Amino acid sequence: MMKSSNLGYPRIGADREWKKALEAFWAGKLQEEELRSQLQELRLNHLKKQQEKGIDYIPVNDFSYYDHILDTAAMFGIVPKRFSYDGGVVPLSLYYGIARGTKDATASEMTKWFNTNYHYIVPELDGAVPVLTENKPLIAYREAKEKLGIEGKPVIVGPLTFLKLSKGYSRTETDAWLNRLLPLYVQILQELASEGVQWVQIDEPILTSKLSVEDLNRLKTIYETFASAVPTLNIMLQTYFESVEQYKEITQLPVQGLGLDFVHGLSGNLASLQSLGFPENKVLGAGVIDGRGIWKASLRAKQELLKKLTSYVKPEQIIIQSSCSLLHVPVTVSYETKLGSELKDALAFADEKLDEIVLLTKVARGDVADVTAELEENERAYQTFQLSDKRKREDIQQAIASFADQKFERHLPFAERHQAQQKKWQLPIFPTTTIGSFPQTAEVRKARQLWRKNEWSNEQYAEFIRKEIDIWIKLQEEIGLDVLVHGEFERTDMVEFFGEKLEGFAFTQNGWVQSYGSRCVKPPIIYGDVAFLKEMTVEETKYAQSLTERPVKGMLTGPITIMNWSFVREDIPREQIAYQLAYALRQEVEALESAGIGMIQVDEPAVREGLPLKAEDQAEYLAWAVKAFRLATCTVQDTTQIHTHMCYCEFHDMIHSIDAMDADVISIETSRSHGELIHSFEVNTYTKGIGLGVYDIHSPRVPDVAEMTAMIERALQVLDPKLFWINPDCGLKTRGQKETVASLRNMVEATQLARSNSALNV
């Protein structure tokens, strides 16, 4: 008989209770005991919900106080040396210090979780002596059983994935590190087995990448060790986000179950099943419900998929589950009271996906009569939305079709544009700027809320925004920045703001998902063809420019980032969505230029995020991502300077694509991984303007002048000083005014020191 399972549930709560508790604790408004109590209540509610819905295998230890990779590192006592950790259970203050930084120590690097918009804290192994500080999976299992009577399925990040995502060790030390970690994993599993645990989910998403022979041998060693140490424990080796690469070798591992993604890895995993079959002594975790997307599944189509799977795997060997953790989707559609019924009926968030899993499982068990009405309603809603005329605009589709053979190039090559721009702007060496946003204070958020509730008129709100711009233009001039920004006080979110002004978007009231730490985002929904309606940013930018003689950058979010940070339609290729967005943004770029704005920043922080996990698919994606950026920016004058910004990820393997975007200046977030990115420029020449972030804006600490000077000096060893810019690593929206001003003053002072020491300063 088929069973149902879930791989993980959103931590944040339907009303973001998790976020609010964390931030209250960090602000000193909540004691640690109160924090733990509130989070336990939230965690138990999540488990109870899954229990009541009828999920057979409910995950435990998927909840976190910040990030599950940081949890794993803390469980093994892996703490960066600069935090002076002296052993034992990692206290909460240190745990958050690693993630957010302290007065005396910088935070650990944060980067993308595979190709998602979730960010994990990168473990630093250098100098660490791993020990099992506490058995977190066991604690979570006991809590669920004692409090709710749930026989939970503990979730653990697998050893190979953990090592591959860590830093601070040579790859020649991989086996030595594996030998250190394996006994700790064994201890965890033995304690779970002794407790009576039936199934453990070991997440190894790294198996969707191409593994070396050495890594395959390591994988074999890991799971043979586990099989020998805990022969009575059932291990579900879980993969997700793509199809597994070395399917034959992985299915031969001595585990009791293998979880495969039959949504994002459908074609590859299905092909492997068809050609190689599936072991009769294993269970297949069939990830047929999309754990990353927000669209309602066609349960009729999923039934057909399950029918196909049962031609290769016996029904009693199949567990129906989500394709990955539901961490990546909002909690529930039920809170959405303002969406049109046609669109709302087409959505499925975490709770609704649990319902879909349970419904499919009932059908697979033969209980069709019990769910006939629900199945019919599902298909009606699904088909109604698919056929909606709101999703198609012939003028946009024809315009995009006409772009197929165009290359989208600036009139002059960069070297000649650079000369023209230098002549126009007369900037000093090492120009200073910021990435775009300034602190969104409680007053700013309150003003926006009053305006959205119609308690303030448009005129009142616009006047408030102008006053904020007045303050920060003056502050930027006093600090000594060379290129200014208006501050983005009118913007809630860098994607939502633009989506609200474009056709083809819809917005939820409570569709929040975790991005990093307590940072939650509410991605727009791209459900139809995207079209430009009217100017979106000109008014505020033009006003800011009227206040100063220094250049003010226009600030836009790029097409790939808007797409990657939205929930997108599934009925047309993502490439076409990117071009629609780029075409709309081109019209805004041209409007800014016509209004006299001669520097325009089109941010693409998420361009790498969309990079396919399979190497063979990456070149095609990068080609159309670059084309979309150029489509949006190529029509400006030679003297108009196009900037872009990227962050949160590794760039060494796409430097050439960044260069091909042909932006005049790029700023890159590097403060948490400065040395690694600098190395990229030691082996790859970059010939355009570039600013490597000299301090980390994700931490509340104020870096001193010496720290930033060291960053600048290191970068100048490999970058052309004539093309080097100095800036923070990201926008300053989440920081306070006092720390922002202090940090920027230090940045300008460090810049002045660099200028005085430069041979170019003549």
Residue ranges per structural domain of the chain: 3-67+125-386, 413-756
Cβ-proximal residues to 184 (8 Å cutoff; 6+ apart), any chain: 76, 130, 131, 132
User: What DSSP line would sit under 508-573, residue for residue?
Assistant: -SS--EEEETTEEE---EEEEEEEE-S-SSHHHHHHHHHT-SS-BEEEEE-HHHHHHTSEE-SSS-
How many CA atoms lie less than 13 Å away from 479 in the CB half-sphere?
A: 26
Q: Which residues are annotated as a binding site for 5-methyltetrahydropteroyltri-L-glutamate?
A: 16-19, 112, 117, 519-520, 565, 609
| pLDDT 10s digits, 238-278 | 999 999 999 999 999 999 999 999 999 999 999 999 999 99
Does 198 have pLDDT greater than 90? yes
What single letter denotes the amino acid at residue 493? D
* CB 320 within 8 Å of CB 364: yes
Q: What percent of the chain has pLDDT over 70?
A: 98
Q: Quote the pLDDT of residue 672.
A: 54
* CB 600 within 8 Å of CB 642: yes
Which of 264, 328, 486, 698 is an active site residue?
A: 698
Q: Say if residue 714 is exposed, middle or buried (CB neighbours under 10 Å; 0-12, 13-18, 19+).
A: middle
**Residue 665 per-residue DSSP state:** E
Q: What token pair was written down for 477?
A: 């001039």
How far is it, in rounded angstroms, from Cα 632 to Cα 591?
12
Q: What token pair was written down for 702?
A: 């104020």
Q: What token pair was written down for 571?
A: 């009925």
Q: Which residues are annotated as a binding site?
A: 16-19, 112, 117, 435-437, 488, 519-520, 565, 603, 609, 645, 647, 656, 669, 730
What single letter denotes the amino acid at residue 278? F
- Of all residues in the chain, what percent are helix, strand and coil, respectively (each to 5)? 45, 15, 40
Q: What are phi and psi of 514, to 5 degrees?
A: -75, 130
How far is it, in rounded angstroms, from Cα 458 to Cα 463?
9
Instruction: Tell me the H-state helices in 387-507.
Output: 394-402, 414-425, 442-452, 458-479, 496-499
Name the band, by pLDDT with cuts 50, 70 and 90, for residue 651.
low
Of 546 and 715, the one with more pLDDT:
546
Q: What are phi and psi of 230, to 5 degrees?
A: -135, 70
Mean pLDDT for the chain overall: 93
Q: Quote the pLDDT of residue 580.
A: 97
Q: At what angle do helices 350-364 and 368-386 cross, to 10 degrees?
A: 130
**Residue 687 per-residue DSSP state:** -
How far is it, in rounded angstroms, from Cα 258 to Cα 269?
12
pTM attached to this predicted model: 0.90
What single letter denotes the amino acid at residue 83? F
Q: What token pair was written down for 36?
A: 């733990």
Name the band, by pLDDT with cuts 50, 70 and 90, for residue 573.
very high
**Residue 726 per-residue DSSP state:** B
How far is it, in rounded angstroms, from Cα 385 to Cα 575?
21
Q: Comparing 3-67+125-386 with 413-756, is the CATH topology the same?
A: yes
* CB 700 within 8 Å of CB 738: no
Cβ-proximal residues to 617 (8 Å cutoff; 6+ apart), any chain: none
| pLDDT 10s digits, 451-462 | 999 999 999 999
Q: H or E stretch including 66?
A: none
* CB 349 within 8 Å of CB 333: yes
**How large is the average pLDDT for residues 376-384?**
90
How far is it, in rounded angstroms, from Cα 626 to Cα 630?
6
Q: Which residues are annotated as a binding site for L-methionine?
A: 435-437, 488, 603
Catalytic residue check, 698: yes
**CATH code for 3-67+125-386?**
3.20.20.210
- Window from 14-18, 256-260, 706-710 with minimum mean pLDDT: 706-710
Q: What percent of the chain has pLDDT over 90?
A: 82
**CATH code for 413-756?**
3.20.20.210
How far is it, in rounded angstroms, from Cα 133 to Cα 403?
58
Q: Which residues are annotated as a binding site for Zn(2+)?
A: 645, 647, 656, 669, 730
Of 413 and 684, the one with more pLDDT:
413
**Residue 57 per-residue DSSP state:** B
Long-range Cβ pairs for the range 458-463 (8 Å, 24+): 461/490, 462/539
* CB 706 within 8 Å of CB 747: no
